[in-house]
Amino acid sequence: MAYAVSPARRLTEAEIGEYRSAGVVMIRNAIEPSWLQLIEAGVEKARGAMSLQGRFMSRKTRGYQMDTFLWKHVDELRDAIYYGPFAHWAQQLMGSNQVRFFYDQMFVKEPGTDAPTPWHQDLSFWPIRGEQITSFWIPLDPVTRESSGLMYVRGSHLWPQRFKAISPDYVAAIIDEKMDDIPDINANPGQYELLDWEMQPGDILMFHPLTLHGSHGNRHRTRSRRALALRWTGDDVVWAPSPKRMPVHFRHDSVAGGGLAGAAFPRILPSPIEAERAARRAPERPSGAQLAASAWNNFQATLRLRMKHGSAAPLRQTWS
């Protein structure tokens, strides 16, 4: 198959301006079909080869599949990340010279799956800090609000608060008690300017890591809702690990307070680094010991929250 030259088109000033003021922009028909087919093939492969961590995070609701760092073992996704149009768009949005890939994440909700994604800000639980960070959300099926299309609070990336991170299954380890409680947005929808779109495969959402976002379960009776998120970082991003942030179980050379470096977060632009690209020739999976350490950290965090609040999930949200 022939792949369109990247990028098929550049983002316009108006699109970049909308991203900066709203914290999110939806670009219709952005992804050329050959790239979309490659991503779809990659996501289908990843669904059949879930990591242990992904299976653990997806275990509570039948029909829900979430997994991360797929590109480390799925070649189709590695190729879309290295050679697709996405890094070029990230470079424009972030206003950065260098673009490094942070990680990918799939979210699948089969028809009728009652698995809302709670309102959250991504940066609250990421082990990085900086301004030049952006995420792309790529649906592989038509989506509406009813079938779990993403919703955003317009302009919330400019708010001063940093909210406690709530993941779909309320993972205790990433809840930082020093952060603010997230408001119950769906209980008071009139107080916020909510944005969402009916999207088709080929459309893409680009959003800032502090923009509040979430989604309903998939209430559609027959249509799956498969989506892939791609996360990108720029020049000003530093590695800021903590037991309260998402663990990364892949090899890299980043040092706390310094820039991202090494094969887990490969440089894509201005050009790939050959040693990082070569490292990916062998697929990588986290070790049992790394996963056990994360599970232990999560168990301790769950106990701490239970002792303090009587529940490990004190921040339940309204998702009717």
Ligand X SMILES: O=C(O)CCC(=O)C(=O)O
Q: Which is nearer to ligand X, 134 or 215 (CB)?
A: 215
Render the chain in DSSP notation, one character per residue. ---PPSPSSPPPHHHHHHHHHHSEEEETT-S-HHHHHHHHHHHHHHHTT--HHHHHHTTTSTTEEEEE-GGGT-HHHHHHHHHSSHHHHHHHHHT-S-EEEEEEEEEEE-TT----EEEE-GGGGSSEE-S-EEEEEEESS-B-TTTT--EEETTGGGSS--BPP--TT--GGG--TTSBPPP-GGGSGGGS-EEE--B-BTBEEEE-TTS-EEE-----SS--EEEEEEEEE-TT-EE---TTS----S-----TTSB--STTS-EEES---HHHHHHTTS-----HHHHHHHHHHHHHHHHHHHHHHSSS-TT-----
- Supply the minimum distance, in Å, between the C-beta of residue 206 and ligand X: 11
- Supply the minimum distance, in Å, between the C-beta of residue 120 and ligand X: 7
Cα separation, 181 vs 163, in Å, equals 6
Q: Which is nearer to ligand X, 117 or 233 (CB)?
A: 117
Q: Which is nearer to ligand X, 34 or 318 (CB)?
A: 318
Q: Which is nearer to ligand X, 246 or 260 (CB)?
A: 246
Q: Which is nearer to ligand X, 214 or 234 (CB)?
A: 214
User: How many other CB atoms are found less than 10 A from the CB of residue 78?
Assistant: 21
Cα separation, 85 vs 89, in Å, equals 7
| Residue bearing tokens 């079909």 | 33
- Supply the minimum distance, in Å, between the C-beta of residue 271 and ligand X: 27
- Supply the minimum distance, in Å, between the C-beta of residue 109 and ligand X: 7
Residues pairing with 49 in the sheet: none
Q: Which is nearer to ligand X, 91 or 113 (CB)?
A: 113
Nearest-10 crossing angle of helices 86-94, 13-22? 70
- Supply the minimum distance, in Å, between the C-beta of residue 302 and ligand X: 22
Q: Which is nearer to ligand X, 12 or 318 (CB)?
A: 318
- Supply the minimum distance, in Å, between the C-beta of residue 232 and ligand X: 12
Q: Which residues make up the interface to ligand X (CB under 6 A)?
A: 107, 117, 122, 135, 137, 150, 213, 215, 227, 229
Q: Which is nearer to ligand X, 38 or 115 (CB)?
A: 115
- Supply the minimum distance, in Å, between the C-beta of residue 230 and ligand X: 9
